[in-house]
Amino acid sequence: MARLGSNRYGKSRVRLSRITRRKNPDSTDRHEFNEWTVGVLLEGGFDASFTAADNSQVLPTDTMKNTVYSLARDSRAATIEEFAIELGDYLLANHAHISRVSVEIDEKSWERLAIDGAPEPATFRMGGPELQTVRVVRPREAAWQITSGIDGLTILKTTKSAFTGYIRDRLTTLKPATDRILGTRATVNWDYAEPNPDFAAVRARILAALLKEFAGHMSMSVQHTLFDMGKAALQAAPEIARIHLTMPNLHYLLADLSPFGQDNPNHIFVPIDEPHGFIEATIER
């Protein structure tokens, strides 16, 4: 006999761009530009739609898409965290049979362009491949659980990285390195220790701390650097309780130029994507 287990449904990858028009002190225009991808998942009284072909309690996912655009029209949310909470609160307030809502938003890193040192009021460039992320979850009658983050933070340094002293057995071919390239495409997530922080300020401090620590750190392994980056983020942002980092090791292998009668003093490398080392950890207070 079959029985319905846990279930949820929603709308994924709702694409949204927003222009916020402001005035500078000299009355000239200044625009802000955001590009978000929104996902919504609902849990609640939807069993009959699965077991009895009864859609009477189903909010169409197309309506969820329209809700995203309609709320965004009048929203004063300045961050993806604030908009995710606003969207989730609206769905819970207007549909009593929803017991739990999850909202995820990714934001592309558009940055204001500067021309001859002056910021352009309405021109932007993509700042990097990374996405700003948030996932908010709220069961009805409970507080929001908010996890913010960065996905695809691609960083590299050409020195201050070593890897020695590891286990060597009959299958080990890797040679010790005292000066190597260290590159990663990091995913970072953090949980808040207090409600309603200044999300934008916290995010900026965490990113600055991560980048500063990565650049200056004398790395003895990716694990070593990951921990110290997380520790620096905790110090920079007392508003967060913990931070989780995933740091795949993007490899750059020294090219063998000996068949051509040439040496290679850490000059020419072959980048490879796969396979790669995969390191992750949560750093807590």
Residue 29 — very low, low, confident or very high, per pLDDT cuts 50/70/90? confident
> Is residue 11 flagged as an active site residue?
yes
- The residue ranges of DSSP E strands in the chain, in sequence order, are 9-23, 29-44, 98-115, 118-139, 145-157, 182-192, 240-254, 269-284
For the stretch 119-140, pLDDT in tens is: 899 999 999 899 999 999 999 9
Catalytic residue among 37, 61, 157, 244: 61
Helix and strand numbers (H, E) in the chain are 5, 8
Report helix, strand or coil for 9: strand
pLDDT at 24 over 90: no
Banded model confidence at residue 146, pLDDT cuts 50, 70, 90: very high
HSE, CB side, 13 Å, CA atoms: give it for residue 31: 14
Q: Give me the percent of the chain exceeding a pLDDT of 70.
A: 100
Does the reported pTM lie above 0.85? yes
Range with lowest mean pLDDT among 14-28, 64-78, 99-113, 240-254: 14-28
Please tell me which residue in 11, 65, 108, 217 is annotated as part of the active site: 11
pLDDT at 233 over 90: yes
Is the pLDDT at 12 greater than 80, yes or no?
A: yes
Banded pLDDT at 111 (limits 50, 70, 90): very high
End-to-end CA distance of the chain: 47
What mean pLDDT is predicted for residues 271-280? Answer: 93
Looking at 31, 224, 231, 251, which residue is catalytic? 251
51 is catalytic: no
Count of beta carbons in the 10 Å neighbourhood of residue 202: 21
Domains and CATH numbers, the chain: 9-143 (3.10.270.10), 153-284 (3.10.270.10)
Which pLDDT band holds residue 28 (cuts at 50, 70, 90)? confident
In this prediction, residue 249 has a pLDDT band, given cuts at 50, 70 and 90, of very high
Distance CA(25)–CA(3), nearest Å, equals: 63
